[in-house]
Amino acid sequence: MANSPSGDSMTDRLVRILETFTPTRTVQTAAEIARRAGLPDSTAHRIVGELVATGLLERDDDRRVRVGMRLWELATRSSRALRLRQVALPYMERVQARVREHTQLAIREQDEALFLERLSDPASGANVTRIAGRLPLHASSSGLVLLAHAETDVQERVLSAPLRAMSPHTLVDPATLRRKLAEVRRLGHAAAPGYIESVSTGVAVPIRERTGEVVAALSVVLPRDAPIEQPLAELRRAAVDIEVALDPPPIERVSVPAERR
């Protein structure tokens, strides 16, 4: 229910305040939060004060505000994404150890690729991805996998919106992108040479539930001209292992003859 002169609900204002924090903007003043959230200073200061009092936000020694540990704690309880990350992490570590390049796990969230984890070698090349960061679905190998297997209405919504170019090689023509999505479904993987950064190639495979639904994408970021065959084989092997770990087959009970009991 709206409870402000502007018609915003308290939930709307809380979300707008929390959304002012980004992977690169982790600390702000209350005045900066008010401006970025589009709220009056008095309203933002009051809500920020209440969030600080509950531990959802915290203040540093300079009275600047950051996300509180309690918000992280609440967000990770019973989180499907957290379980997926925990299950996938050992297999991601295996891929990263063998390929020795950035290894990433992403899910689709609000028509974007949301990255749950990234493992990197000190010698790994360029990569803009951050944990808890987002990229457009059409612009990365992970996003292409997730979009290719999304519902038709999601695909049409993404394809009908303006497609932002992340680099000169990003696919921004809807017809070309449709063909690319069909290729991803046919091949079972996505390769995105230079789509995010001209010097890199992303390669991704789907992770499925037992029902066949694609729930995540596992990817590596390689130097632009590096061969993809061996990294792709590692990704596919890891994806199968993650799928089994997410939904292990039931244990068969072996009946014991009565005379042996």
Please report which helix (H) or strand (E) contains residue 115, including its range.
Answer: strand 112-119
Prediction pTM value: 0.75
- The verdict on residue 27 lying in a domain is yes
pLDDT tens, residue by residue, 23-79: 778 999 999 999 999 999 999 999 999 999 999 999 999 999 999 988 887 877 657
pLDDT of residue 260: 52
- The verdict on residue 112 lying in a domain is yes
Residue 5 pLDDT more than 60?
no
CA–CA dist 178, 96 (Å, integer): 31
Number of domains in the chain: 2
116 and 173 in a common domain: yes
pLDDT of residue 71: 87
Instruction: Single out the residue in 26, 55, 75 at which a domain terminates.
Output: 75
87 and 65 in a common domain: no
- The verdict on residue 118 lying in a domain is yes
Residue 252 pLDDT more than 60?
no
- The verdict on residue 138 lying in a domain is yes
Per DSSP, the residues of 119-146 read E--TT-------TT-EEETTTSHHHHHH
pLDDT tens, residue by residue, 169-212: 999 999 999 999 999 999 999 999 999 999 999 999 999 998 89
pLDDT of residue 23: 75
Tokens of 172: 């921004």
- The verdict on residue 261 lying in a domain is no
pLDDT of residue 166: 93
Mean pLDDT score, 246-258: 62
- The verdict on residue 153 lying in a domain is yes
Q: How does residue 121 score in pLDDT terms, banded at 50, 70 and 90?
A: confident
CATH of the domain at 213: 3.30.450.40
Unique residue bearing structure tokens 């690729």? 113
155 and 70 in a common domain: no
Q: How does residue 82 score in pLDDT terms, banded at 50, 70 and 90?
A: confident
pLDDT of residue 72: 80
Range of the domain at 50: 10-75
230 and 157 in a common domain: yes
pLDDT of residue 126: 62
93 and 62 in a common domain: no
- The verdict on residue 186 lying in a domain is yes
